[in-house]
């Protein structure tokens, strides 16, 4: 493998390119007209414009990416996450054109891409699952009967879904029809498929995911867990590794279950098996993400592994260089997704011109970044600017370093999730480890947080004024 086309943009494109360069592999960036001056374009060895700003005309055009591979004699494509990373047709297109898709085979992507098919595939491995329907439903009356049998509250989920789309929690029977209508409509708009299924809603769950890595020689390892319970609109914002709640015994049981899921679909490369954990520490299989996760850096920090390097190595046929017993957890890592979102206004996207953009630096601080000062945050794509990661010997150390890093991350021109990240790090429920996926709903109060920020700004201004007057007085003193 001598040249890789990175079929993505932003921080993940740069992240992949850094490892490729370390391995002596040339990189090719693809970009849209909106990303002509983007950092990933500057960082690559070569770059090709593949279409207009809209992702449907650029980053989602698998045919154009294949053309670039052929024209520039690239051996492989790394899809990153999002866009074409879990598109089985694109993976198959690569296979048919003798281009290495750095990820699982198309059959595994297809199987795990549909939540019902995934559950069916792992059924024989005796992996615990949340009670619910085994088949997709579009008939609302039939669905209501099933929901009543399972017992409220229930969760309606899009069969082809992801990212919290087509998902509705229904507390009582009277709300069922309206919520079912909304879930089906949202699933059709997001995925072109209105099929949904029903699960018992696990109250106060924690979202725990296990990182797996598989080679083509039958070896599968799990690289511990990530805690992803701090979410807004069913999407993650803060992640940590390891989880503060897992015992070594539970970690092994969940890791072994994740390996079985990977084996069920003949998996290759990096993948993540997601579980719900209830208050009694029972875990239930949710789904498998057949790609590199956004939050992979925290796993790298505690394991010492480069997951992108392992992806590339197994994609070119190499055996994994380590066994399960070689892996150890060292320290603790936190990650905050820095989105251009207004956390004071329901986390709505807040794109615009970055008049100031200064990254925090220091030991134990890692920023996977995809943008720079003087650039516009485009409206066409996911509003993530970067991932802020901190590492410490203990959880407490990682939290304190995250607070310091947030304070030293200076952004002007757009609202971001930095203030929300600081709120989480300072909240007693998070610090104690006693939290679940309802954290935002239970504790987050934007009005109260805004008032606190105003007080802090006022204090900072008073300190600055006092210092200014003191300096002025010193300057006036006679020689």
Residues with catalytic annotation?
291
Which residues share a beta bridge with 6?
29, 78
For residues 311 and 440, what is the distance between their CA atoms, to the nearest angstrom? Answer: 34
For residues 97 and 120, what is the distance between their CA atoms, to the nearest angstrom? Answer: 31
> 274, 258, 301, 310: which is closest to 125 by C-alpha?
258
For residues 418 and 404, what is the distance between their CA atoms, to the nearest angstrom? Answer: 11
> 17, 16, 11, 50: which is closest to 33 by C-alpha?
50
Do the bridges between strand 76-78 and strand 3-6 make them parallel or antiparallel, or are there none, so unpaired? Answer: parallel
For residues 473 and 130, what is the distance between their CA atoms, to the nearest angstrom? Answer: 70
DSSP label at residue 155? E
Residue corresponding to tokens 């809603």: 201
**What is the three-class DSSP state of 470?**
helix
Residue corresponding to tokens 């690239």: 74
Sorted by sequence, the CB contacts under 8 Å of residue 151 that are 6+ apart come out as 200
**What is the three-class DSSP state of 188?**
helix
**What is the three-class DSSP state of 101?**
strand
Do the bridges between strand 26-32 and strand 46-51 make them parallel or antiparallel, or are there none, so unpaired? Answer: parallel
Helix (H) or strand (E) holding 333: strand 332-339
For residues 404 and 363, what is the distance between their CA atoms, to the nearest angstrom? Answer: 12
Sorted by sequence, the CB contacts under 8 Å of residue 67 that are 6+ apart come out as none
For residues 121 and 110, what is the distance between their CA atoms, to the nearest angstrom? Answer: 12
DSSP label at residue 137? B
Which residues share a beta bridge with 277?
206, 283
């Amino acid at each position: 493998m001598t040249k890789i086309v990175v079929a993505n943009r932003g921080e993940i494109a740069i992240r992949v390119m850094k490892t490729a360069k370390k391995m002596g592999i040339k990189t090719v960036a693809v970009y849209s007209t909106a990303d002509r001056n983007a950092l990933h374009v500057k960082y690559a060895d070569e770059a090709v414009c593949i279409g207009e700003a809209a992702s449907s005309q650029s980053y989602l055009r698998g045919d154009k990416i294949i053309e670039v591979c052929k024209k520039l004699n690239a051996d492989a494509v790394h899809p990153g996450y999002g866009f074409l990373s879990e598109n089985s047709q694109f993976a198959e297109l690569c296979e048919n054109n003798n281009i290495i898709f750095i990820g699982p085979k198309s059959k595994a992507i297809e199987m795990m891409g549909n939540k019902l098919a995934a559950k069916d595939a792992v059924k024989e491995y005796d992996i615990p699952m949340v009670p619910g329907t085994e088949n997709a439903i579009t008939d609302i009356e039939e669905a209501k009967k099933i929901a009543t049998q399972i017992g409220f509250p229930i969760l309606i989920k899009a069969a082809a879904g992801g990212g919290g789309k087509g998902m509705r929690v229904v507390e009582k029977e009277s709300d069922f029809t309206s919520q079912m209508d909304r879930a089906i409509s949202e699933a059709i708009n997001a995925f072109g498929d209105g099929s949904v299924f029903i699960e018992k809603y696990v109250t106060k769950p924690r979202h725990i995911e296990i990182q797996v890595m598989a080679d083509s020689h039958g070896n599968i390892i799990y690289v511990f867990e990530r805690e992803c319970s701090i979410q807004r609109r069913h999407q993650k914002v803060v992640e940590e590794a390891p989880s503060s709640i897992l015992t070594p015994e539970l970690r092994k049981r969940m890791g072994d279950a994740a390996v079985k899921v990977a084996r069920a679909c003949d998996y290759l490369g990096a993948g993540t098996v997601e579980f719900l954990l209830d208050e009694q520490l029972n875990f239930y299989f949710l789904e498998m993400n057949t790609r590199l996760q956004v939050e992979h850096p925290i796993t790298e920090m505690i394991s010492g592994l480069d997951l992108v390097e392992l992806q590339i190595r197994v994609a070119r046929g190499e055996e994994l260089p380590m066994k399960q017993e070689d892996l150890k957890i060292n320290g603790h890592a936190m990650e905050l997704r820095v989105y251009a979102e207004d956390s004071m206004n329901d986390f709505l996207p807040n794109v615009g011109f970055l008049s100031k953009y200064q990254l925090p630096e220091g030991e134990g601080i890692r920023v996977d970044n995809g943008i720079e000062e003087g650039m516009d945050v485009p409206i066409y794509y996911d509003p993530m600017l970067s991932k802020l990661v901190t590492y410490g010997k203990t959880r407490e150390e990682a939290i304190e370093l995250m607070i310091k890093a947030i304070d030293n991350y200076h952004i002007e021109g757009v609202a971001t999730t930095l203030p929300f990240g600081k709120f989480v790090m300072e909240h007693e429920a998070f610090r104690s480890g006693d939290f679940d996926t309802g954290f935002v709903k239970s504790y987050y109060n934007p009005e109260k947080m805004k008032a606190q920020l105003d007080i802090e700004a006022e204090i900072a201004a008073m300190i600055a004024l006092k210092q200014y007057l003191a300096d002025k007085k010193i300057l006036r003193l006679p020689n």
